Structure 1
């Protein structure tokens, strides 16, 4: 009986330890890739930062490419989930369309400060786009930037169904909204590497929302 218990508990202990090591590896990899870039980052440095052996990393990941893709996708998913929560807070129920869009835009731009390690990785992707494997880029775009656009689109469609917006393509409208607000702020700050005065950030978002409503607003119904 005691032998059976021992045989059953040892694998459980191993299983419990494995996720902790994996989290340590991905956390270290995200920091190293964001700091050193994709090309310069080495698995040796990631191992040292994670406090594990190089062999342990290769027990979890096939190579540096798979490790990079994993941390990029995990970060993108976290940001996309946060965007979904922000959408629910501001656009699930419309009280004043302009104010609700401004509120969404202002909170949306804070994602850069909430996920600094991920956006350091985004800077790496943009800086080394020709060195990163194309399949990794495509998967990252689907999970990250394109997913955020697709999450906003259904909310804009429902707002249009209320007669507050006029649009034919909700995904195109979502892309325009992001370009006028979030993307504008992100490009000026290089995804959080530089800071903007709060008044300037607010001005960009408010101007962006007003431009968006001139493009897609339904006239007096937007008030």
Structure 2
């Protein structure tokens, strides 16, 4: 319901009808729509963040050689940016949140950011810091480096696909990801310019 009509238009009565429960049942579990929405977005963001953190560890964890870094980052960005049917409802809600951001209670945006985007960014920053400690990257502050990497790769794919609403072709997705990874490497790779 939140993904289809957004937070503002979704009423408790309609949500209860969709869930095939009474409004009283909804209110037995949640103080109101804001608390229900926070629970929904935190739960779905946590599940998405778990998958993205696992992808980050799987692709970057084994890297210790600067010459393997580009391939690992390409694989990570490709896996991270691919459409995920299992999370279609989550991303529909996120698209609605972006559209309604100016009208949403600030706490809802913060709850989403904490449980999803900040968590995945921290895991990526942790891996980039590890690579810097190994001498694979030249990164003074891994958090901004992680932000830039995500903006240049998955952010570019998200923007071009209107946050997943308009699917991109595989070649278009690959071109955006490759350009983003190479731009990141140009700024942080030990072998940049070699």
TM-score by length of 1: 0.82
Distance 2:79 2:85 in 1: 11
Alignment of 1:99 with 2:71, yes or no, is yes
CA contact (8 A) 1:112 1:192 kept: no
2:177 maps to 1:205: yes
Once superposed, what is the RMSD of the aligned Cα atoms?
1.6
2:51 matched to which residue of 1? 82
- Structure 1 contact 181–208 (Cα < 8 Å) conserved: yes
From 66, 70, 74, the counterpart of 2:39:
70
Structure 1 contact 98–209 (Cα < 8 Å) conserved: yes
Whole-angstrom distance in 2 between the partners of 1:149 and 1:92: 15
Structure 2: segments with no counterpart, 5+ residues: none
CA contact (8 A) 1:83 1:148 kept: yes
Highest RCO, 1 vs 2 (Cα 8 Å, sep ≥ 6): 2
Q: Distance in 2 between matches of 1:159 and 1:144?
A: 23
Instruction: Verify: 1:60 aligned to 2:32, yes or no.
Output: no
How far is 1:114 from its partner?
Answer: 3.6
Query: Using the alignment, how far apart are the partners of 2:177 and 2:49 within structure 1?
Result: 19
**Displacement of 1:44 after TM fit?**
0.9
Equivalent pair of 1:86/1:107 in contact (CA under 8 Å): yes
SS at match of 1:142: helix
Residue 186 of structure 1 contacts residue 192 of structure 1 at CA under 8 Å; is this kept in 2? yes
The equivalent of 2:161 in structure 1 is 189
Larger radius of gyration: 1
Aligned pairs, how many? 191
The match for 1:109 is 81
Q: Distance in 2 between matches of 1:182 and 1:87?
A: 13
Correspondence for 1:14: none
CA displacement at 1:191 relative to structure 2: 2.2
Q: What CA deviation, in whole Å up to 9, does each residue of 1:87-131 have, x standing for no partner?
A: 122111016100000000000012544411001111111111121
Q: C-alpha distance in 2, partners of 1:201/1:108? A: 12
The answer as to whether partners of 2:83 and 2:164 remain within 8 angstroms in 1 is no
Identify unmatched segments of 5+ residues in structure 1: 1-31
Aligned to 1:126: 98
SS at match of 1:195: coil
**How far apart, CA to CA, are the structure 2 residues paired with 1:82 and 1:161?**
25
